[in-house]
Amino acid sequence: MSNLAAIPVKEIKKVVSPFPLDQWYVAGFSSELTDKPLGRTYLNQKVVLFRTGEGSVAALEDRCCHKSLPLSCGSVESGDLRCGYHGLKFNGEGQCIEIPGQERIPSKAKVRAYHVKERNHIIWIWMPKAEGGAPACEPPEYAHHDNPMYKWGSGCYHYDTPWQLIHDNLLDLSHLGYVHLKTIGGDARLHMNAPTTVTAEGNSVKVIRHMVGSNPPPTYKAAWIFGDTCDRWQEIEFVPSHLSIWTGAMEPGTGSIDDPNRGGFHLRGFHGITPESETSCHYFWSMCSNKHPQMPETIEKVLQQIEFTFNEDQGVIHDQWRNMQEFGERATWLDIHCDAGANRARRIIDQLVAQNAA
């Protein structure tokens, strides 16, 4: 008689991602892909990016199916990816197309491929619930990168903190008056007391703050002609993959601060926050700025000052996370009025993560 019934059956546990899936995430900027492969980790998954022979972007699991060396340690040859250990070559679909010294290529000689797409100089990667799952929609558009009204620059930070701490920071710009005094700060009291509206629709959150009669901060004065005061605005739009932040100012009396086509000094910020792990993330940013007709080109100076503010934010958020770890369970948070946008964004992320198990 068979004794198979006596063998205990191991419980198979379903691993649920701590991040929203079936979503587009920012993988990088088009300018980052040169003639070499680029390895990064997104949502705990190691990925290698490279350009194919047609010039499109391909994304594969960063692991050779032979001996597991990261494929990002290899090289790009005529639009295919050559492993740097034993020379296996893979195409953009992850199929091995050459094994040096061996004519026969086993059917299992392949690696996982991801759906990627370039749009407005941004590389997007689709992170599916099921391996091989196709995108359910197009990646978001960010037309400001292609608007001749603006000039822009971009950069990338790596944070050793959970990704949602950056959401919290960007959805609450009242911190500008305390953290960024040398650049985009301004009157801290005006920031904290300015009329603010917070709305949510679907998976998005919008925060609008208007600061009429504000003192123009240093970055604004360097880029635009302002008198003693200006009318400032901050408009923040959050979706799980990124935030779009439109800030700026106009001379008092030159237009309506509610006008979507208002003039004045504009800063259009793109902020792609992509988790690397539960405690680390990538921060892909760009900043578009317009030019005053009576001033010389200032985009480089503006970008330098914006990057300086991002360095300040990174220092604050890293110190915040370090303190949260040291205090442990005692590091509870007290909500105040300026937390409304961040709290709504966190609820959206929680709901999407819960759907992963559905």
pLDDT tens column, 19-78: 999 999 999 999 999 999 999 999 999 999 999 999 999 999 999 999 999 999 999 999
Q: Check whether residue 169 and residue 115 sit in a common domain.
A: no
In this structure, is residue 220 part of a structural domain?
yes
- Picking from 113, 105, 97, 111, the residue whose alpha carbon sits closest to that of residue 64 is 111
Q: Check whether residue 250 and residue 171 sit in a common domain.
A: yes
In this structure, is residue 236 part of a structural domain?
yes
Q: Check whether residue 192 and residue 114 sit in a common domain.
A: no
In this predicted structure, what is the pLDDT of residue 11? 41
Q: Check whether residue 196 and residue 114 sit in a common domain.
A: no
- Picking from 211, 273, 262, the residue whose alpha carbon sits closest to that of residue 238 is 273
In this predicted structure, what is the pLDDT of residue 324? 96
Question: Structural domain of residue 59, as residue ranges?
Answer: 23-127
In this structure, is residue 279 part of a structural domain?
yes
Q: Check whether residue 204 and residue 269 sit in a common domain.
A: yes
- Picking from 166, 156, 159, the residue whose alpha carbon sits closest to that of residue 33 is 156
Q: Check whether residue 210 and residue 300 sit in a common domain.
A: yes
pLDDT tens by residue, 316-358: 999 999 999 999 989 899 999 999 999 999 999 999 999 988 7
In this structure, is residue 48 part of a structural domain?
yes
In this predicted structure, what is the pLDDT of residue 8? 45
In this predicted structure, what is the pLDDT of residue 6? 43
pTM for the full predicted model:
0.92
In this structure, is residue 18 part of a structural domain?
no
Could you say which residues of the chain have pLDDT below 50?
1-13
In this structure, is residue 16 part of a structural domain?
no
**Are the CB atoms for 219 and 184 separated by under 8 Å?**
yes
Domain CATH code at residue 69: 2.102.10.10
Q: Check whether residue 262 and residue 336 sit in a common domain.
A: yes
In this predicted structure, what is the pLDDT of residue 15? 56
Please give the angle made by the CA atoms of 30, 32 and 34, to the nearest 5 degrees: 100
Total domains, the chain: 2
- φ, ψ at 333 (rounded to 5°): -110, 140
